[in-house]
């Protein structure tokens, strides 16, 4: 009898454990794995996070139906996916809920490679049938703009989806277009006359305040809060890019007006020079990107981009700037290993450093910039006399631009930068230029001690 009791008890325990295990499996599949977070809060009412998750789910389901490979570009949501945030999430979260797609912000941003957008009105119609209201932002295609043709056709730049007028949750789709410099570009968000300016909290949008430029991200398909979502493979790199993505378009109209007054040199030597400059800039960008050193177009090269969307053929050199805080001692070795020869090295890291390389008869001048109060400056050295010079600029930040089908940086405050260097007559070509006296911002800066010339004035 005691044996039977023990057997019966054991049987009951096995059955109870099996039922409980099946219940747990059913719960996981229904509420965690498939449906994502709990839909109702503890009070039984929909919370703001619940509404945001439902809105995102409905929107993504629609894009999956039409096979639109959007990827998550929302900086707040991506920041939550950082390794530190994930570790904190694993420690604190013990039950399923909306952790990443419910950011507390009224906007969720996605991006789409424009080549994959079929301009199919059926998708937009389906969105309206699902209850979404749409605001479409279009603008001119800068890829079609040239010095001769300035009226590019309009293309979609941004799509804003609102589930209904009372909803404060918005889905933004940013179109990324491929540019000739092998990068992705999105346009600014500019409302035209008659558009509803209350449709969205425009000041809170991650994208649209200005145009942006990005490397092509490698995408990874994952599950976030129970939803299939594509995300950038390198999240930290994408977030960093987004912070510094500001892109300036070449001023084609002003460049055309300039070239009508001062036609571009079409002699074979000038054409060959432009080809060499493009090659040199491509090599330079490759070297400095590998070293993790940002640079920008400076002096005459910057003037050429700003004034005529090209290079100044009679300048015969390429000028770039680098912040001295980004200097690395292996920079000379890197350029030499790439086939460039060192022409001269002036100054030192602490003061007026300047490097010059030669490639295919074209000189590359690298000017290092120093901060001083609310100004920035780079130095110059006259080799035969040891005289020092200083070129002063107002503070500036860096933006992306395109020159000779290459993605490069320029000072965002380009006009101020150019006027500091070339004065109010910057738009008038000057073929006779003395670097010691012609610039508007040049100042005498003393003399290098003769005992240090061997180290501070090196000519090769």
Per-residue tokens: 166:
């009372």
pLDDT in tens, 203-243: 989 999 999 999 999 999 999 888 999 999 999 999 999 99
pLDDT in tens, 24-81: 555 444 444 444 443 334 434 445 567 788 888 999 999 999 999 999 999 999 998 8
Is it the case that residue 440 has pLDDT exceeding 80?
Answer: yes
Segments of the chain assigned to CATH 3.30.460: 48-87+94-244, 252-459
Say what the pLDDT of residue 131 is.
Answer: 87
Q: What is the CATH number of domain 48-87+94-244?
A: 3.30.460
Number of H helices, E strands in the chain: 12, 20
Q: Is 202 exposed, middle or buried (0-12, 13-18, 19+ CB in 10 A)?
A: middle
Phi, psi of 375 (to 5 degrees): -125, 165
Is it the case that residue 329 has pLDDT exceeding 90?
Answer: yes
Say what the pLDDT of residue 97 is.
Answer: 64
Residues contacting residue 270 through CB under 8 Å, at least 6 positions apart: 264, 313, 314
Per-residue tokens: 368:
């290092």
Rounded Cα gap, residues 239 and 230, in angstroms? 15
Structural contact between residues 266 and 374, judged by C-beta atoms closer than 8 angstroms: no
pLDDT in tens, 103-150: 888 889 999 999 998 767 888 888 888 889 999 999 989 888 765 655
Per-residue tokens: 196:
């509803």
Name the E strands within 218-333: 219-224, 227-232, 296-297, 317-323
Say what the pLDDT of residue 36 is.
Answer: 44
Per-residue tokens: 270:
């000038």
Say what the pLDDT of residue 27 is.
Answer: 45
Structural contact between residues 173 and 111, judged by C-beta atoms closer than 8 angstroms: yes
Say what the pLDDT of residue 18 is.
Answer: 66
Model confidence band, residue 170 (pLDDT cutoffs 50, 70, 90): confident
Share of the chain above pLDDT 90, in %: 64
Say what the pLDDT of residue 17 is.
Answer: 67
Instruction: Identify the CA nearest to 59 among candidates 164, 137, 156, 136.
Output: 164
CATH topology of domain 252-459: Beta Polymerase; domain 2 (3.30.460)
Say what the pLDDT of residue 85 is.
Answer: 55
Relative to beta strand 457-459, strand 212-214 is: unpaired
Model confidence band, residue 12 (pLDDT cutoffs 50, 70, 90): low
């Amino acid at each position: 009898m005691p044996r039977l009791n023990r057997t019966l008890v054991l049987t009951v325990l096995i059955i109870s454990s099996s039922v409980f295990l099946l219940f747990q499996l059913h719960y996981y599949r229904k509420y965690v794995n498939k449906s994502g977070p709990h839909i109702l809060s503890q009070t039984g009412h929909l919370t703001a996070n619940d509404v945001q998750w439902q809105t995102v789910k409905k929107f993504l389901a629609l894009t999956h139906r039409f096979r639109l490979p959007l990827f998550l570009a929302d900086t707040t949501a991506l920041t939550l996916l950082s390794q530190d945030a994930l570790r904190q999430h694993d420690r604190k979260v013990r039950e399923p809920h909306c952790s990443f797609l419910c950011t507390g912000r009224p906007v969720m941003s996605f991006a789409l490679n424009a080549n994959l957008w079929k301009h199919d009105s059926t998708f937009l119609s389906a969105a309206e049938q699902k209850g979404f209201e749409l605001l479409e932002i279009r603008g001119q295609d800068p890829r079609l703009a040239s010095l001769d043709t300035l009226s590019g056709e309009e293309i979609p730049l941004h799509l804003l989806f609102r589930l209904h007028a009372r909803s404060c949750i918005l889905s933004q789709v940013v179109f990324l277009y491929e540019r000739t410099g092998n990068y992705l570009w999105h346009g600014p968000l500019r409302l035209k006359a008659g558009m509803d300016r209350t449709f969205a909290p425009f000041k809170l949008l991650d994208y649209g305040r200005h145009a942006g430029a990005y490397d092509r991200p490698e995408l990874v398909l994952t599950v976030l809060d129970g939803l299939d979502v594509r995300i950038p493979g390198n999240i930290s790199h994408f977030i960093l890019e987004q912070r510094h993505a500001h892109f300036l378009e070449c001023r084609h109209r002003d460049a055309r007006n300039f070239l009508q007054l001062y036609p571009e040199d079409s002699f074979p030597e000038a054409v060959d020079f432009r080809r060499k400059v493009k090659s040199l800039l491509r090599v330079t960008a490759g070297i400095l990107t590998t070293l993790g050193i940002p640079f920008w177009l400076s002096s005459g090269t910057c003037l050429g981009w700003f004034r005529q969307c090209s290079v100044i053929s009679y300048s015969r050199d390429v000028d770039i700037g680098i912040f001295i805080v980004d200097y690395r001692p292996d920079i000379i070795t890197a350029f030499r290993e790439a086939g460039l020869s060192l022409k001269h090295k002036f100054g030192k890291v602490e003061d007026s450093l300047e490097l010059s390389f030669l490639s295919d008869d074209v000189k590359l001048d690298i000017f290092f910039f120093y901060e001083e109060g609310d100004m920035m400056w780079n130095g110059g050295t006259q080799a035969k006399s040891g005289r020092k010079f200083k070129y002063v600029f107002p503070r500036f930040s860096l933006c992306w631009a395109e020159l000779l089908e290459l993605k490069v940086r320029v000072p965002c405050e380009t006009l101020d930068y150019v006027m500091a260097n070339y004065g109010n007559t910057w738009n008038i070509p000057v073929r006779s230029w003395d670097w010691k006296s012609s610039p508007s911002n040049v100042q005498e800066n003393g003399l290098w001690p003769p005992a240090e010339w061997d180290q501070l004035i090196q000519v090769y």
